[in-house]
Amino acid sequence: MTGRVAIVGLGPGSAEWMTPEATAAVAAASDIVGYGPYLDRLRLRPDQRAHPSDNRHELERARFALTLAAEGRAVAVVSGGDPGVFAMAAAVFEAIEEAPEWRRFDIRVAPGVTAMQAAAARLGAPLGHDFCAISLSDNLKPWAIVERRLRAAAEGDFVIALYNPASRARPTRVGDAFALLRGVKEPATPVAFARAVGRAGESLTLTTLGEADPSLADMATLIVIGSSQTRFIKRDGARAWMVTPRAYGDRR
């Protein structure tokens, strides 16, 4: 028994951000598995089968993809952004871990532009120095580990990208995170809400940690919180740029 699965990153949404590798991997697949709205972005041929799902039950979706591959189908599992960043790659390997016969499969991962990179490109250069990425979802981890990581990120003075900041099931987590960070970081720290970058309804809001309004965040929002070095470069008649210089403190 053998099988083949490509785990493919489609990027944030716009076709100009989808790599040639990802495009080729989708074209080479007989079966495409993924969250419905991601499949809707693709122009599949009549001979290709789409298997849309909701945005939960990732492990079941991964098992389903591997089962199709075991049947000899050429399977692509698609994620928005980068499949290795809070997306399907980990779920597929977790499913493989459960079933030794799947370890013989040929698994390829096609990376993609992830939400924090798209947001950073629009904002200027907020990730210009050391940074970290934290998912605020506590579906799969205790909130205590999120708090531990937020505190460590603040104490390490990292730029922080917050993924999955809010959902209907947990609307208060963004506010909780801001409250924790305000205990460690300066109120003047630059903050950006980047919503749906590269898709319809894109919007960018610049503010500070002291004034950041948690209600601006939904599941399509990526939040960037600066380090002590991050600043806004103001412009006449245009949105300021958000920049974290390469140098720290006095170094130039």
With CB under 8 A as the contact rule, the residue among 56, 60, 71, 148 that binds a second copy is: 148
223 counts as binding a second copy under rule CB under 8 A: no
CB of 222 to a second copy, least distance (A): 13
Which of 158, 166, 173, 221 touches a second copy by CB under 8 A?
A: 158
Residues 68-127 that bind a second copy (CB under 8 A): 82-86, 89-94, 96-97, 103-104, 107-114, 117-118, 120-122, 124-127
Near a second copy by CB under 8 A: residue from 37, 156, 187, 210: 156
Which one of residues 3, 11, 13, 34 is an interface residue with a second copy (CB under 8 A)? 11
What does the alpha-carbon distance between residue 82 and residue 10 come to, in Å, rounded to a whole number?
Answer: 7
Closer to a second copy by Cβ: residue 73 or 129: 129
Cα 189 from Cα 230, distance rounded (Å) = 7
Nearer to a second copy, 171 or 245 (CB): 245
Q: Is 4 exposed, middle or buried (0-12, 13-18, 19+ CB in 10 A)?
A: middle
Q: How many residues bind a second copy (CB under 8 A)?
A: 80
Cβ distance to a second copy smaller for residue 49 or 55: 55
Residues in 169-208 that interact with a second copy by CB under 8 A? none
Q: Which is nearer to a second copy, 68 or 242 (CB)?
A: 242
Closer Cβ to a second copy, 87 or 217, answer by number: 87
Q: Which is nearer to a second copy, 117 or 221 (CB)?
A: 117
Q: State the DSSP string of the chain.
A: ---EEEEEE-BSS-GGGS-HHHHHHHHT-SEEEEEHHHHHTS---TTSEEEEE-SS-HHHHHHHHHHHHHTT-EEEEEESB-TTSSSHHHHHHHHHHH-GGGGGSEEEEE----HHHHHHHHHEETTSS-EEEEE---SSS-HHHHHHHHHHHHHTT-EEEEES---TT-TTHHHHHHHHHHTTS-TT-EEEEEESTTSTT-EEEEEETTT--GGG--TTEEEEE--TT-EEEEETTEEEEEE--SS-TT--
Gyration radius of the chain over CA positions: 20
For residues 14 to 53, the per-residue mask of contacts with a second copy, x marking binding by CB under 8 A and - elsewhere, is xxxxxxxx--x-----------------------------
From candidates 132, 180, 206, 216, binder to a second copy by CB under 8 A: 132
Q: Which is nearer to a second copy, 139 or 172 (CB)?
A: 139
State which of residues 48, 55, 74, 157 lies at the interface with a second copy (CB under 8 A).
Answer: 157
Query: Minimum distance from CB of 230 to a second copy (Å)?
Result: 10
